[in-house]
């Protein structure tokens, strides 16, 4: 069977993407899934692929090692599960339901918005996306999107701050909307984008917005919690956010985690941005036990875990393009190189494509024919300043990081 993806489209269940270890299918969820369905999903990944499951930076599942023969069977098994699968224009909402800190029900609004967009029947780029941030305890600030809606208090009640073409820092704020008018305004913007062609994005219509009746709004900087850790829920229960080291885990480990979580009273799981999973609801005491069990299984339980500061693609041998074993190097360097701060400090890319982290990073290691290329404050596509053998990488990066810290504090 041949899979054909439209140019620029993301991999999906119906049209997976060819990688070095077979086909990769991506699955976005609109809502949490029951733990039994999650276990079924993991078992399907193990039966039809190589059992490696990833959670992307945007909070989607990715399944690796499928084949042209097994991919349709995997899709059929997934289709038999009770999962609210996202299709159409991605509308990413708060990952945490029943968040007492949320200003609005972002997920409920996202459902209405998805229906309205589907009914409009617009011809849009497959890369168009929308973020709906309800203002709760977990932010969506790092996600880039064409259209961003963030719930904020206004003098007339709760409204939306509307911003376009970027993440929370880089997007252009263009107005304050009431909740009631937000859907119509989003549809109007999508129509403007669609009129520019099927490959257009929000940045292409920014010049036209001077003619729109939008009040300018101020940008903001969030200080909300990391998805990793304990999160209070309405009614006194808690949810627990756990990270996948470098964004991936084996199906067997995820099934073992799900069974432990279920035995401690949890009902659901949801993939979350920043390569994490949210489980709940729990009694507070159970969350403490589960963090210990998750750590034993190799999952990330602390927001300050150095593995969270490193982004790594699969690299060799999983990817045919990979020239270095990116994730194996990431595991080694996480324990050897001093990484500070909360943001991404190191990107390890198997090749110059830089799929795992297109944005610049303070340090990037890229696989080349000359060995590991070192890029400072750039991307995997930039020219390395030097090349080192993988065996010498730890000492080299420690030296570069030390010089960077000295320059910052000088």
pLDDT tens readout for residues 371-385: 999 999 999 999 999
> Taking residues 166-183, what's their average pLDDT?
93
Ranges assigned E (strand) in 293-345? 310-312
The pLDDT score that the predictor gives to residue 401 is: 56
> Taking residues 247-255, what's their average pLDDT?
95
Boundaries of every domain in the chain: 17-87+227-303, 96-211, 307-409
In CATH, the architecture of 17-87+227-303 is Alpha-Beta Complex (3.90)
**Integer-rounded Cα radius of gyration of the chain:** 21
For the structural domain made of 307-409, what CATH number should be given? 3.30.413.10
CA neighbor of 193 nearest in space, from 126, 243, 137, 251: 126
Q: What is the pLDDT of residues 282-338, one digit of tens each?
A: 998 888 889 999 999 999 999 889 999 899 988 988 788 899 999 999 998 888 877
For residue 138, the number of C-alpha atoms closer than 13 Å in the C-beta half-sphere is: 29
The pLDDT score that the predictor gives to residue 257 is: 97
The answer to whether 251 and 74 are in contact (CB under 8 A) is: no
Instruction: Decide if pLDDT at 195 tops 80.
Output: yes
For the structural domain made of 96-211, what CATH number should be given? 3.30.413.10
The pLDDT score that the predictor gives to residue 317 is: 84
The answer to whether 310 and 264 are in contact (CB under 8 A) is: no
Instruction: Decide if pLDDT at 193 tops 80.
Output: yes
The pLDDT score that the predictor gives to residue 404 is: 47
Pairing of strands 52-55, 248-250: antiparallel
Mean pLDDT of the residues in the chain: 89
> Taking residues 220-247, what's their average pLDDT?
86
- Both tokens of 135, joined, read 């203002």
The answer to whether 245 and 311 are in contact (CB under 8 A) is: no
The pLDDT score that the predictor gives to residue 6 is: 46
Instruction: Decide if pLDDT at 188 tops 80.
Output: yes
> Taking residues 111-126, what's their average pLDDT?
95
Instruction: Decide if pLDDT at 216 tops 80.
Output: no
The pLDDT score that the predictor gives to residue 210 is: 55
The pLDDT score that the predictor gives to residue 217 is: 47
Instruction: Decide if pLDDT at 145 tops 80.
Output: yes
Asked if domains 96-211 and 307-409 share a fold, the reply is yes
- CA 272 to centroid of chain Cα atoms: 7
Q: What is the pLDDT of residues 4-19, one digit of tens each?
A: 444 456 788 989 998 8
The pLDDT score that the predictor gives to residue 405 is: 47
Pairing of strands 229-232, 238-243: antiparallel
Sequence length of the chain is 410
The pLDDT score that the predictor gives to residue 333 is: 87
How far is Cα 280 from Cα 266, in angstroms, rounded to an integer?
5
How far is Cα 330 from Cα 245, in angstroms, rounded to an integer?
9
Taking every pair of C-alpha atoms in the chain, what is the biggest distance, in angstroms?
61
Q: Give the DSSP H or E segment for 139.
A: none
Q: What is the pLDDT of residues 61-116, one digit of tens each?
A: 999 999 999 999 999 999 999 999 988 899 999 999 999 999 999 999 999 999 99
35-48 and 70-79 helices cross at what angle (nearest 10)? 170
Q: Residue 408 — pLDDT band, cuts 50, 70, 90? A: very low
For residue 254, the number of C-alpha atoms closer than 13 Å in the C-beta half-sphere is: 34
């Amino acid at each position: 069977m041949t899979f054909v993806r439209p140019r620029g489209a993301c991999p999906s269940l119906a049209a997976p993407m060819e990688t070095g270890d077979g086909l990769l299918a991506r699955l976005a969820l609109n809502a949490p899934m029951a733990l039994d369905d999650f276990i079924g999903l993991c078992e399907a990944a193990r039966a039809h692929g190589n059992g490696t499951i990833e959670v992307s930076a945007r909070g989607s599942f990715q399944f690796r090692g499928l084949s042209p023969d097994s991919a349709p069977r995997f899709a059929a098994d997934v289709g038999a599960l009770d999962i609210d699968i996202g299709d159409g224009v991605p509308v990413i909402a708060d990952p945490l339901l029943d968040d007492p800190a949320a200003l609005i029900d972002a997920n409920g609004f996202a459902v209405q918005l998805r229906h309205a967009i589907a009914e409009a029947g617009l011809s849009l780029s497959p890369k168009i996306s929308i973020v709906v941030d309800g203002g709760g305890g977990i932010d969506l600030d790092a996600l880039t999107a064409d259209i961003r809606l963030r719930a904020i208090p206004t003098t007339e009640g709760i409204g939306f701050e509307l911003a376009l073409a970027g993440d929370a820092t880089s997007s252009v704020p263009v107005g304050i909307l009431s909740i009631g008018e937000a859907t119509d305004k989003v549809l109007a913007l999508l129509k403007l984008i669609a009129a520019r062609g099927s490959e257009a994005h929000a940045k292409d219509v920014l010049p036209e917005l001077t003619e729109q009746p939008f009040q300018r709004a101020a940008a903001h900087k969030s200080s909300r919690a990391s998805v990793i850790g304990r999160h209070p829920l309405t009614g006194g229960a808690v949810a627990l956010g756990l990270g996948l080291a470098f964004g991936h885990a084996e199906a067997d480990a995820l099934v073992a985690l799900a069974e432990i979580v279920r035995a401690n009273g949890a009902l659901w799981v949801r993939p979350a941005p920043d390569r994490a999973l949210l489980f709940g609801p729990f009694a507070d005491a159970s969350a403490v036990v589960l963090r210990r069990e998750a750590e034993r299984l190799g999952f990330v339980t602390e927001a300050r875990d150095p593995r969270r500061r490193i982004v790594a693609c699969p690299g060799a041998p999983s990817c045919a393009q990979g020239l270095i074993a990116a994730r194996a190097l990431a595991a080694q360097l996480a324990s050897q190189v001093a990484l500070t701060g909360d943001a991404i400090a190191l990107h390890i890319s198997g090749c110059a494509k830089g799929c795992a982290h297109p944005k610049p990073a303070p340090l990037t290691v890229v696989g080349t024919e000359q060995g590991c290329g070192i890029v400072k404050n750039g991307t995997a596509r930039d020219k390395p300043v030097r090349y080192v053998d993988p065996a010498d990488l730890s000492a080299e990066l420690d030296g570069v990081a030390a010089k960077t810290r000295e320059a910052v504090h000088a």
